[in-house]
Amino acid sequence: MLRSKIVSTGMYVPPQIIKNDDLAKMMDTSDEWIRQRTGIEQRHWAADDTSTSDLAYEAALVALKNANMDKSEIDMLIVATLSPDHEFPGTACFLQKKLGVPGIPALDVRQQCTGFIYAMSIADQFIRTGMYQKILVVGAELQSKGLEKNDQGRDVAVLFGDGAGAVVMCATEVKDVKTDSHVLSTHLYADGTFAEELWVAAPGSGNSSDRIGTKEIEDKLHFPQMNGKTVFLNAVKRMPEALQAAFKQNELSIEDIDLFIFHQANLRINDMIAKQFNIPEHKVFNTIQKFANTTAATIPIGLDEAVRAGKLKKGMLVASAAFGSGFTWGSAVYRF
């Protein structure tokens, strides 16, 4: 049967490291406060002359190199991001220009922290139908330029980092579902009832006569706003539900999964999910300590980090889950 598989991974983070103590110089916080509440120790922030597509480009080059594939072989580009280069056109178009691959479809996915799971699912469907054979999927974020780096924005500003992760997904003929590398299934969900619990209100057509005006800026509507308690409670409920759906469809148990790579929003969320399922600590691969929350980039960054650390090897069964703004959430199970 025709399925998709991940043939390579790649990642890139900007060189500048911002430690928790560095943030303490900008706002009323401390290394201890951030570590205890999030597990984050540091994050990478991009230089002023860098864009999201720049980060995506670097990660894409690594993924293509690791796949031993020329960029001309790619049939489609999918970029998941909540921090686009510009309001329009999509960041995938800017990445396409930098890669020099005109003509192929270039798609943006705006599903925030669940963006990579959504993008991976879209690529999987295109490949399963036979429409495309080789798709470059990128999660990329440059969030540092959009954070309110003061006491008022502290609770959000300490959480986020910049970076990009990429995978190349290709068509494959699966003969043995128990051993052959392929995406077993993806599961996507959303509930717009909670859209304003984690959002950036401006710019947007939902505001006054201007997409963004003096009032919106004075009210700081162009900075992220988050109801942290509501987000946390929904995340620890919805991510396990998405995992259960994947396990049920594929008739799997926790013991069958070799490695869990979750979205990296808060270490406490991932620890709580692991406890709910009694997942052994060695089966959960976290990167939030080093990179903070890179939203759509956390899972592909985690995949590449796990490969380079020797934690993820060919043939291993992987489960991923994510939760984010929208609210959106989802899961995927795939044999690497």
- Which residues belong to the active site? 113, 263, 293
Question: Left, alpha or beta for 320 (phi > 0: left; psi -120 to 50: alpha)?
Answer: beta
Contacts by residues 282-290 (CB-CB < 8 Å, ≥ 24 positions apart)? 283/257, 283/258, 283/259, 284/259, 284/260, 285/259, 285/260, 285/261, 285/309, 285/311, 285/312, 286/39, 286/262, 288/38, 288/39, 288/40, 288/264, 289/39, 289/40, 289/41, 289/42, 290/41, 290/42
Measured distance CA(104)–CA(61) in Å, rounded? 17
Pairing of strands 182-190, 198-199: unpaired
Q: What is 154-170 written as a DSSP string? A: HHHHTTB--EEEEEEEE
Contacts of 124 (CB under 8 A, 6+ apart): 3, 4, 169, 183, 186
Q: Is 66:316 a contact under the CB 8 Å cutoff?
A: no
Q: What angle do CA 243, 238, 41 make, to 5 degrees?
A: 90
Give the strand pairing for 259-260 and 76-80.
unpaired
Report residue 67 CA to chain centroid gap: 21
